[in-house]
Structure 1
Amino acid sequence: MVRRPARNPRILLPWVGLAVGIGGLGLQFSLSMPAYAAQGKDIPGSLGTFLAFYTILTNIVLVLVYLSVVTTWRWLEVFRHPITRGLMAANIALVMLYVYLVLRHLAVLEGQALTADNMLHYLAPILYLLWWVIAQPHGALKWANLPLMLVPTLAYLVYVLARGAWVTEYPYPILAVQKIGYGAVLLNSAYMTAALAALMAVVIAADHLLARFSRTVPA
C-alpha cells in the first residue's frame, strides 16, 4: 500500500475556506433574492437588503482574504495586510458568537436555509480562525492598531442607520430604529462595539503570543 504524503494545512485551508465562503454566499443569495422579490422588491432593492447584513459583508471579505492568499492579484493587496486579516478574525468571531447566543433563538431554519446559515455563521468563522492561527504570519499587530481596526465596523453602523432612515429597513433587531428608537440603537451599538473591541484585544494578544511561540519552535 502506497501512503500518500500529508497535505500542508497552510496550503489547503485557504482553498477550503474559499469553497465554503463562495458556496455559502451563493446558496444564501439564491434563497434570499427570490424571497425579497416575493416581498415586492426590485433587483436593486433586493441587493441592498442582501448586502445590509453584516454576516454577508464579513463573509465576502473572508473570500477576498482567501483570494489574496491563493492569487497574486495586486488589487487584493489590502487583504494581505496583517491589520485587515486580524480585524477580520475578531469580526467573524463576533458574527459567530452573536448568532449563536442571540439570533438562533429568533427563527427555526430547515433545509437549504439551515445549510447556508451553518456555513456562513459557523463553518466559515471556524475555518478562518483556524487558518489565521496556524497559517498567518504573526507579530505585526500592535495595540495602537485597535482603534483603526474598529473603523470598518463603525462605518458599517453609519451606513446601516443612514440606509434604514431612507428605506425604513434594518438588518437586525438591535438596530431597528422604528421599533426601539435611536437611544436604544445607539446603546446597542455601543455594546457591540465594546464587545468587538474586546475580541480585537484578544486577537492582538494572540498575535503577540503566537509570534513568540513561533520563534521558540525549531524550524
Structure 2
Amino acid sequence: MPNRYRPFAAAAAVLGWLALALQLSLSIQLTVANGQGALAGAWIYIGYFTILTNMLTALALTAAARGPHGAVSRFFARPDVHTAIAMSIAIVAAIYNLLLRQLWQPHGWQIVADNILHVVMPTLFLLYWWLAVPKATLRWPQVIVWQTYPAAYFAYALIRGAVNHWYPYPFLNVGTLGYLHVLVNACAVLLAFVAIALLLVALARWQVRRSSKTAALPAQS
C-alpha cells in the first residue's frame, strides 16, 4: 500500500479499536447492572456480527498502517481479504441502518458507539478500500469464497442460540420464527452479501481498467 495512505489507515484503526472498547465496556456495564456479571457481557458482545466484522476492519487497517510485517499483517494486506471485509462491513451498515436502527433507542455513549460501528467505520473502510487497495488480482470466483465468513457466522449464531436461547438479531431468532423462517431469512441476507461482493468486484475491475487507460495516455507537454 502506498505510504501516503498509512496515516489514514492508522487513524481509522485507532478509531475502530476505541469504538470496540467502548462497546465492550457498555455491554459489560449492562450485564453487571442486570446481575449477570462481566463475563456475560463479553459473551454477548462477541455474539454480534457487527462486533466481529468491526474487529476484522480494525485488524485490516492496523495491518495496513504497520506494513507487511509478519504472517497476520501479510494476510490482512491481501486485496481479496480486504474486499471480503469490505463486503461484510457494507452489509453491517446496510442491515443496521435499513432494518434495525428503528427497533431501539440508544442513549448516551451507546449512541456514539452505535454510529461509529455502523456508520463511520463502514464509510472509512470502504473509502480506504477504494483509495488504497490494489485490485488487479480480484476475480469473480472469489465472491463465492468470501461467503465462508457470513455462512460460518450463521452457524455460530444458531449453535449459540441452541445452547443459551439468545439470538443477536430478530431475523435469526429461531425461538420466535422457527428454523425454516430463519433459514429463508439467512438465504436472503446471503444474496445481499453476494450482490455487494459482485458490485465490489465490478467496481474494482472498472477502477483497474480506468487506471490502465490513464497510464497508457501519452504525457502532455
Deviates further, 28-37 or 8-17: 8-17
**Aligned pair 1:32/2:9, yes or no?**
no
Residue in 1 that maps onto 2:159: 162
Alignment partner of 2:141: what SS?
Answer: helix
Cross-structure match for 1:10: 5
- Point out where structure 2 has 5 or more consecutive residues left out of the alignment: 217-221
1:177 paired residue number: 174
How many residue pairs were aligned?
Answer: 212
| C-alpha contact 2:64 2:73 (8 A) present in aligned 1 | no
Q: 2:181 & 2:73 partners in 1: Cα distance?
A: 37
Quick one: which amino acid aligns to residue 59 of structure 1?
A: N
Deviation at 1:30, TM superposition (A): 1.2
Mapped partners of 1:36, 1:213: distance in 2:
51
Within the alignment, does 1:146 sit opposite 2:143 as a pair? yes
Deviations 1:59-80 (A, max 9, x none): 0001110121122233332211
Contact 2:32 2:38 in 1 (8 A): yes
- Could you tell me how far apart the structure 2 residues matched to 1:82 and 1:15 are? 18
Select between 184-193 and 39-48 the one with higher mean Cα deviation.
Answer: 39-48
1:86 equivalent in alignment to 2:83: yes
Letter in 2 for 1:113: Q
Distance 1:156 1:105 in 2: 24
Q: Which aligned pairs between 1:2-151 and structure 2 lie closer than 5 A? A: 10-71=5-66, 72-151=69-148
Q: Higher relative contact order at CA 8 Å, sep ≥6: structure 1 or structure 2?
A: 1
Q: Structure 1 pair 31/43, CA: closer, same or farther in 2 (3 Å)? A: closer
CA distance in 2 between partners of 1:115 and 1:9 (Å): 29
SS of residue matched to 1:217:
helix
Post-superposition offset of 1:154: 0.2
Moved over 4 A (4+): none
**Inter-partner Cα distance in structure 2 for 1:119 and 1:9:** 24
> Which position in structure 2 is the counterpart of 1:3?
none
- Are 2:201 and 1:200 equivalent residues in the alignment? no
The amino acid of 1:143's aligned partner reads: W
Deviation at 1:42, TM superposition (A): 3.7
Gaps of 5+ in 1: 1-7
- What is the TM-score normalised by the length of structure 1? 0.92
Query: Taking every aligned residue pair, what percent have the same amino acid on both sides?
Result: 31
Could you state the TM-score of these two structures normalised by the residue count of structure 2?
0.91
Superposition deviation, residue 9 in structure 1: 5.7
Separation of aligned partners in 2, 1:10 and 1:75: 19
What's 1:4 paired with?
A: none
